[in-house]
Amino acid sequence: MSAPTQQQSSYREAVRAGLHEALQQDERVFLMGEDVGAYGGCFACSKGLLEEFGPERVRDTPLSESTFTGMGIGAALGGMRPIVEIMTVNFSLLALDQIVNNAATYLHMSGGLFNVPLVIRMATGGGKQLAAQHSHSLEGWYAHIPGLKVLAPATLEDARGMLLTALEDPDPVLIFEAAVLYPMEGELSPVISSVSIDRANVIRTGRDLSIISYGASLHKGLGAAEQLSEEGINAEVIDLRSLRPLDDATIIGSVKKTRRAIIVDEGWRSGSLAAEISARIMEQAFYELDAPVERICSVEVPMPYAAHLEQAALPQVTSIVEAARRMVVRNG
């Protein structure tokens, strides 16, 4: 039997397909958040779902992140499988108490009696000229919290399939969708299934250095690897996919092979996810390194509105390429 033909789609449509499949296959699943129903979602990811599944399962909420996130926790404790959409990661700070002090701790504080099978989706990152209150990458903050799983789908298949896997998890899962990726087009299998959320993916194999990233920055890493290949530098590119837990085995295995590592993280450098990964590499593969680990992060300023300043603040292909050249040429 021949394999199913891949179909052209977009990241946005992949997210919508995941939501549709989840609502269709499990009547306990419902979606709620600001503008997810009649408006079809701020990023059009839930367009058409209200008409198909009705207002009981696609629920528009008041503009109160703490309230509707708390409602999601209560529904999860009551046996439902809620998907809470918070428009952008910046707004999730209004629900920080619910996420960190409640969802993440219920299992521990109940002595293992009460799980919280809650999925929270939100857009993250810059590149769309939405200014400082809508454009930061704070997923590294949440990756610091025990009791949460933190996912960052960078591909169409992950944007669709990670949601289905997350809904099978008995504990809270946060999914960070890079806003700049929503229009990204690519191929998507017509066969819908859950995907692994436990392992990083080696997207491109190489021998000279490892480029480790996730989300929107992954594609900049791939662009840098393509440019470096023209100069005879063979870069391996890793998509982290899961930010908590991190897949140490894949990361360290790659670094031991290439002996050099660049971590690309759209978060700020100080206290970043990139710093955590760098520390793990130093702890587990220090004597395998031929050069210090490099970190490429966003400039430590509130995200600018002006397009040229926003791009200057974010990691770019050119900065990855320059770092790679330094590492490979200077260290042989």
Q: Is the dihedral of CA 184, 189, 193, 195 positive or negative?
A: negative
Looking up tokens 């703490």, which residue turns up? 66
The yes-or-no answer on residue 308 being catalytic is no
- Are 149 and 166 in contact by the 8 Å Cβ rule? The answer is yes
Tokens found for residue 276? 């955590």
Q: Which amino acid is at 81?
A: R
Residue 40 gets the label, from left (phi > 0), alpha (psi -120 to 50) or beta, of left
Bridge partners, residue 296, by sequence = 264
In the chain, the amino acid numbered 59 is: R
**Catalytic residue at 65?**
yes
Could you give the CA distance from residue 239 to residue 221 in angstroms, rounded to a whole number?
9
Q: Tell me which of 13, 21, 34, 65 is the catalytic residue.
A: 65
Q: Residue 298 phi/psi, 5° resolution?
A: -70, 150
Helix (H) or strand (E) holding 179: none
Sheet strands (E) in 65-216: 81-88, 119-124, 149-151, 173-178, 185-188, 201-204, 209-213
3-class state of residue 37 by DSSP: coil
State the CB neighbour count (10 A cutoff) for residue 187.
11
How many whole angstroms separate alpha carbon 283 and alpha carbon 4? Answer: 44
Helices within 78-127 (DSSP H only):
89-92, 96, 106-109
The catalytic residue among 134, 157, 276, 294 is 134
Catalytic residue positions, numbered: 65, 134
